[in-house]
Structure 1
Amino acid sequence: MSNLAARPRLIRLTAMMLCLLGAFALASHASAQTAPTAREAAAAMGKGFNLGQMFDAGQHDPSLETARPKIDAYYARGFRTVRIPVTWTEPVQGTLLADPDTGAVDPSAPRLAELEAVIDYALAQPGLYVVLNAHHEARLKDGGRADVLERLWSDISARLKDRDHRLMFEILNEPHLTNHDAMAPETLRDMTGRAYRRIREDDARRIVLIGGNQWFGADEMARAWPDLDAVGGGRDPYLMATFHHYNPWTFNGDNQGDYADPWTEADMEAPMRTMADWAHDVGGDMPVFIGEWGVGWQSVLPKMNCNNIRLWYSRFDARHASDHGMPTAVWDDGGWFQLFDHAQRKFGSNLIDCIDGECRWDGPERFNADCA
């Protein structure tokens, strides 16, 4: 074949290659556009829920089979955030996900395969955000093991770096010590900062969440984070703050006697305002995620028929958190703080209705007989 005869074919092949390269460039650009900033994510997350006591403790089987019905039920009700508490360096049902001395993730751990299956299933649901954390890491926290936390998040980030950016990383849940004392603020900042930098080595656009230095209370943020030097210096648009809201604990907590507590709107509002003030001043208008809230009713009550609890669930997200623009994730462990009944594979009461702002009461009285 002469060079002249081969030229049209060469031109066609060159054009095809240029088209393919252009398509790859467009795909890469599109991919870059699908990584929401923390503010964009917060605006889309809305109502959420926790897969409590599944991958962080042994109450429920840590598997996709167990998680799927709960994810489906909440998603069908319009919830668009699932928080997955995970214990990595402490045993759950006799197994570890990571070495407690080094933080190295065990790639052969069966629980890790199930966890990744749950993450992938959740991300396959359009618009569903996933918050993954390090939850009950007692030895790590007691020892201030920044090296262990750093390696842990380095391995997690490397394994999951190809996942959709709706997957977010919450570095260390409630970093109190086993004697319940707060972690020293400088220790928390050092540990968090080292983990944060490892995550950023893999992905500059993965949303990272930071919280307080004891129980994730709103008032802890000013002490734990007087500045953001350890986590981007206030220049990272992919950083989000988080806190937990169980105020007042005498009402929201487990084993608190009865649930006829005369809580007020101020009890609900005050922690949100405290967190909003920190986020505006120190955080530079950083978005805030309420990662846990709820009432431990089943520790005392045989069934959920308390109007006072219904009122709390009706006001929390629909009125107060929404007014602050704070997405939420109700704590649902399938037990004391139950909404979803794992045995029945459905919601066990009408608290799920209440979160939308209105729900059926048993009679007109706030403190009906079933609250005690």
Structure 2
Amino acid sequence: MFYVCLTLSIFNSYSQTAKEVVKDMGSGFNLGNVFDNGNKSTTFTSFKPIIDSYAAAGMTNIRIPTTWYDYVGGTRLTDVNGNIDKTHPRFIELVKTVDYALSKGLYVVLNTHHEHWLKDNYNGSAYYNTIFANLWTSIANHFKAYPSKLAFEVLNEPEGVMGQWGEAVLPTAQSGILLTRQINKVGYDAIRATGGNNTTRIVMISPNGQANDSQIEEVYPNVSTLPGGGSDKYLAMHVHSYDPWNFCGQTGTNASYPGVTQIKNDITVCNTHAQNNLGGIAIHYGEFGVGRITNQAERSATVVKEYYQTFAKACIDLGIAFSVWDDRGWFGLINDAGNAFTYNLVPNMLSVINRAPTVSITAPATGSNYTSGTSVTLTATATDTAPGTVTSVSFYDGTTLIGTDTTSPYTYNWTPSAGSHSITARATDNGGATATSAIVTITVTTSSSDAFTSSYFHLINKYTADYMRPTGGNATAFITQYEETTVPTLSSYQWEFIAAPVTGYYYIVNRYTGKAIQPTGGSTVDNTNLSQTTLVTSTTNTELQWAIETSDEANYYWIKNRKSGRYIRPTGGTNGTGIEIVQNTLNTTYSSFKWSLANPVAKTTTAKSSTTKIASPEEIVSTGTIIYPNPAYDSIKIVTPVEKTATVSIMLYNFSGNLVLSKEFRDIQNNFEESIDINNIPTGNYVLKIKKGNTVETHKIIKK
């Protein structure tokens, strides 16, 4: 099967907002008459050349209309409860299609399409809601580990009892409007409830009247009517346009061509409502086109070409993505062999829009490993189609901007912090079109040559000879000094230095509390005391970053805050237990500014820090699995043997039994090794389940 050949990188992603995704989606097409009704072959190899031709022409997204619960060719993809049958041949071909499109760099929109069991009968009851929720739960769970380039469209063209032109319930009827909102929310809630990548996956909802763009104002007049009440930045609006029908429809005529101004105006009105009244929600025009049943030759006319060009350019100019309708029939745009575009409509259409550039990271290679403090040169190539030119390439670590280069070759030197990093490059051209590269994952581990990061230390003041410690070893306490007559054994006296993402600076973290020190409130004022806070690695939290400077006396150091530029010492240089540690302007003649890093304990027997690569004995379980660090701050690394080729599933549950993280890695052989990002989950105890084929292991994980 094709999908087993995909690289792992496409299944790892960060969360792009709907606006970012839709802008990047750009121009695309529909794979119509395939999985929606079976009029064309559903065998992947039969339409693979079509996907290839569209991608080669410059298309950057594909919409895959899919009918699930209704019968297609005598069978359906679900059971009576709406749970998908993953062994169904049509579903297997669908997964191949999604995987292949993603491997081509295309964005993919997957929907529930005809579903007349629902559209013709929906009454808002639990019966229909349960089946539809089960359906989306089943779909969302299967594709949970897929990247943000896969979007879900809740329901294609709400119609029937939800409101349809020329029928008993018109789209303007309040009953149809309310049912449309309700069914969109049922699907939306089901998707979000599955967790994992689906908490931030782009979900598209549609108005009624067969998703007509003019209905957006009726169905969703303001943000309060949207699922999530306008707070979900990963929600998008999906609309269609075949207006006017007496020109665009399959029974239409070219004599009814509305002209350029009207085409642009309809799109602008829809977009203006979205921007002004729906919180700037992103829009995807999922269908438009011109069809003819009998007089296909009309589609070769200049007005038809102008229609496609005008519609496409108007969308792209407004930052709206589109997927032109192609059924290889009345609205056909390519032949069944996939080697010729009908009437050259697609190349003509693309010739007038500013197509997005292409971009890829050439260095470092995904899977590369570095030691902390190493400068990594990020390199990307980016090209554009004339008249477009690439104006800049920006590099990101997840959603955090690393840096930007405006000249080719596009490079940026970066010193990453310890941990796992998901790097992307984002190219922008002179027309504002953007494209994002595939993700490159690197791992940074603590350098064994860094004496500061390899051990835990006592911090002893030169003048007072007292030890630095959180008061009472409390995680919420200020930092004070303790006068001791013997070397203390409590871990609350011990401190570790974690390399910050800026060379020469460290986070200072208490071994017992796991908290990092800072001048309280990030103050830059003299005599501000030190407090503790949760460590979040960032280039911008300069108040948490400290330079360890060699003083004018051997084996003693000055410790300077990066933000304030001030140095720590006991208040007034005073001796005794309970004296607060504060920051002051450095006076090199005062020994109270000097600290020794005493009684080092190598990080070889425990792993409280996310920078420690050594696993403790209790982390090496009887199954041969290694999980480190544990406890951890932002990521854990899992190394486990795999006896035969298998899918490895990683699932993290809180102690209430709720799934908070899920990832799936396919076709793993011999050994599985992967860093899992846990930075965004709350602190606490968790149960980690590792499923390898038919084998399941369970481990306890502590998030600090």
TM over 0.5: yes
Which residue in the other structure is 1:176 paired with?
159
Q: Which residue of 1 aligns with 2:148?
A: 165
Q: Does 1:315 align with 2:310?
A: yes
| Matching of residue 112 in structure 1 with residue 112 in structure 2 | no
- Kindly provide the amino acid, as one letter, of the partner of residue 136 in structure 1: H
Contact 2:288 2:324 in 1 (8 A): yes
Q: Using the alignment, how far apart are the partners of 1:209 and 1:56 within structure 2?
A: 18
In 2, Cα distance between the equivalents of 1:236 and 1:358? Answer: 33
> Counterpart of 2:73 in structure 1: which amino acid?
Q
Asked whether the 8 Å contact 1:254–1:300 carries over to 2, the reply is: no
* Whole-Å separation in 1 of the counterparts to 2:326 and 2:279: 31
1:339 aligns to 2:347 (yes or no): no
User: What's 1:238 paired with?
Assistant: 234
Alignment partner of 1:267 is 2:262: yes
Corresponding residue for residue 70 of structure 1: 50
Measured after TM superposition, the shift of residue 232 of structure 1 is: 1.2
Offset from partner CA, 1:227-280 (integer Å, 9 cap, x none): 445511111111111111111111111022x32334222321232122112211
- Of residues 48, 56, 59 in structure 1, which corresponds to 2:39? 59
Match of 2:179?
187
Q: Indicate the structure with greater strand content.
A: 2
TM-score normalised per structure 2 = 0.44
Aligned residue among 78, 87, 112 for 2:67:
87
Secondary structure in 2 matching 1:289? strand
Q: Is the 8 A contact 2:111 2:155 kept in 1?
A: yes
Match of 1:156 in 2: 139
- Dislocated runs of 4+, deviation >6 Å: none
Identical aligned residues as a percent: 33
Query: What does the per-residue CA deviation read over 1:15-50, in whole Å, with 9 as the maximum and x for residues that have no partner?
Result: xxxxxxxxxxxx99x9453x3211111111111000
Q: Which has the higher contact order (CA 8 A, sep 6+)?
A: 1
The alignment partner of 1:316 has SS state of helix
1:348 Cα deviation after fit: 2.8
1:87-122 alpha-carbon deviations (Å, 9 max, x no partner): 1111112220123x4222122211011101100010
Alpha-carbon offset, residue 201 of structure 1? 1.7
Q: Which has the larger radius of gyration?
A: 2
Residue 201 in structure 1 maps to residue 193 in structure 2 = yes
Matched, 1:306 2:289: no
2-structure distance, mates of 1:82, 1:293? 14
Letter in 2 for 1:60: K
Question: Contact 1:259 / 1:297 at 8 angstroms: preserved in 2?
Answer: no
Q: Distance in 2 between matches of 1:142 and 1:40?
A: 35
2:219 partner letter: A
Aligned partner of 1:356 in structure 2 is 350
1:9 matched to which residue of 2? none
| 1:139-168 per-position Cα deviation (integer Å, ceiling 9, x unaligned) | 112222222211110100001111121000
The residue correspondences of 1:265-304 to structure 2 (distance < 5 A) are 265-297=260-292, 299-302=294-297, 304=299
Matched residues, number: 327
CA distance in 2, matches of 1:66, 1:80: 20
Counterparts of 1:34-45 in structure 2 under 5 Å? Answer: 35-45=15-25
What is the root-mean-square deviation of aligned Cα atoms in Å? 2.2
Distance 2:23 2:63 in 1: 16
Query: What is the CA distance between 1:358 and its match in structure 2?
Result: 5.4
Quote the offset at 1:218 in angstroms.
1.5
Distance across 2 between alignment mates of 1:271 and 1:66: 36
Structure 2: gaps spanning 5 or more residues: 1-7, 123-127, 354-704
Instruction: Assess if the C-alpha contact under 8 Å between 1:67 and 1:118 holds in 2.
Output: no
Conservation of the 8 A alpha-carbon contact between 1:53 and 1:333: yes
* Matched-pair contact (CA < 8 Å) for 1:51–1:84: yes
Please, what TM-score do these two structures have when normalized by structure 1?
0.82
1:131 to 2:105 alignment: no
| 8 Å CA contact 2:264, 2:310 repeated in 1 | no
The change in CA–CA distance for 1:274 and 1:147 in structure 2 (over 3 A counts) is farther
